[in-house]
Structure 1
């Protein structure tokens, strides 16, 4: 995503760079981060990490319930496996779409004025 954002900014005349390791890598190397007001004190897990946690938990739950209650519960694990294969083949992720609707995964409610933001970035690039 950051490479795509850099390309879009370059098309608008704004220089931008990818951070090796993302903002986590930047902070781990001792650099500061300025977070907007109202940003969560604890960063939310990356979406792919959330998907791995939920998918793995569902697979384990299906296997456990299949052993303890009824083998039909193993279909839950098979369903998750099928969803992961479908996700890889189509480069989509339904689970990420669902997780993205959770309150802590939604961005702030304020609208972004893209033209004003680009103008401020261009002004900063000219200094």
Structure 2
């Protein structure tokens, strides 16, 4: 498959595959905090920054069908590109992410409640725009901040990336109880392979 082509899998199709053979490996690329809040049982958390930085090493550990998961699908598609370029095969992305999967009534493992990264981006971007517009009543140049945020959001839509989201993902709030290292990720993938990728 062309590395630029992303295969999508619907939530209902994923449910069927999780009961079939071979069972796909689920890799959740959200932040550790988002993963702790709610994740598909049996999925492995490898945050997007770690995935993109070590795509070659991680691609070498992927065997058989792999489904990349995030909140809505954007970060999973972003992770797909470097993994496919590094030689990973049988990759697909959960269409609509955890949000769509939950909406179909599928089981989700829940923990401490936190805001999803996409929701945090909307809050910060909206807050900055509103604040800069109010500030521009006294300091006219403040309106340029609103313009900059708007340009950034437009760029994020066109490129399907988000610099603000990447920055927010590094905050302690989004790291969860313990950061995921490359060693953790490799060990989790090898353990899953040894166990036959059986969800738990």
Structure 2: runs of 5 or more not aligned? 1-5, 9-26, 29-57, 68-92
**C-alpha distance in 2, partners of 1:126/1:84?**
38
What is the deviation of 1:93?
3.6
Q: What's 2:163 paired with? A: 94
**C-alpha distance in 2, partners of 1:77/1:49?**
19
Relative to 1, partners in 2 of residues 1:124 and 1:9: Cα closer, same or farther, differing over 3 Å?
farther
TM-score, normalised to structure 2's length? 0.44
Q: What's 2:135 paired with? A: 65
Relative to 1, partners in 2 of residues 1:34 and 1:64: Cα closer, same or farther, differing over 3 Å?
same
TM-score, normalised to structure 1's length? 0.63
4+ runs of 1 displaced by more than 4 Å? 8-11, 85-92
Which protein is richer in strand relative to its size? Answer: 2
Which protein is richer in helix relative to its size? Answer: 1
The structure with the larger Rg is 1
Aligned pair count? 119
Kept in 1, the 8 Å contact 2:61–2:189? The answer is no
Q: What's 1:109 paired with? A: 179
Alignment of 1:1-127 (within 5 A): 12-17=62-67, 18-34=93-109, 40-46=111-117, 48-67=118-137, 69-85=138-154, 87=156, 93-107=162-176, 108-109=178-179, 111=181, 112-125=183-196
Deviations 1:39-86 (A, max 9, x none): x5114313x33223212221121112223x232221221232343355
**C-alpha distance in 1, partners of 2:161/2:105?**
35
